[in-house]
Amino acid sequence: MSGGKVIQLKNFTSIAPQDMDSFDSDTMKKSDSTYHSNHSGGGSDMDKYATKEELKHTQEILSEKINHRSDVIEEKIAGVKSQIESSNKLLYWILGIFGAVFTGLLVALLTK
């Protein structure tokens, strides 16, 4: 991965996705009293908006996921490529043996 920022997870607690404020840096349940006391002042419509820092953090996370997936895809492509190369070598051996046997039979038939 190139230049990705790794974020350590400490004191992790599970929160159901529907209860999560995905743009909050210290993700808290929406129903918590601390959530409402820290996020009052904009009404319920403010849940639709995010700060530049929150968007940048989300972008970094998504970039890391994309980089990881592209690395996995590249590894799979390399594996398939090596399988194709080994299959081609096997095919060349089989064709070479078949060609030699066919040539030997053809020469034997023509010289009789």
Asked, for residue 90, whether it belongs to a domain, the answer is no
Asked, for residue 106, whether it belongs to a domain, the answer is no
Give the predicted TM-score (pTM) of the model. 0.40
Asked, for residue 38, whether it belongs to a domain, the answer is yes
Question: 41: left (phi > 0), else alpha (psi -120 to 50), else beta?
Answer: left
Mean pLDDT per block of 10 residues along the chain (112 residues) reads 59 64 51 49 67 91 93 92 92 94 92 84
User: Taken in order 8, 11, 12, 16, is the CA torsion positive or negative?
Assistant: negative
pLDDT of residue 35: 47
Asked, for residue 11, whether it belongs to a domain, the answer is no
Structural domain count of the chain: 1
pLDDT of residue 100: 93
Asked, for residue 108, whether it belongs to a domain, the answer is no
37: how many CB neighbours lie within 10 A of its CB? 8
Cβ atoms of 82 and 56 within 8 Å: the answer is no
Asked, for residue 21, whether it belongs to a domain, the answer is yes
Of the candidates 31, 27, 38, 29, the residue with the CA atom closest to the CA atom of residue 61: 27
Cβ atoms of 53 and 61 within 8 Å: the answer is no
- DSSP letter at 93 equals H
Asked, for residue 41, whether it belongs to a domain, the answer is yes
pLDDT of residue 50: 83
The domain containing residue 68 runs over which residues? Answer: 17-79
Asked, for residue 72, whether it belongs to a domain, the answer is yes
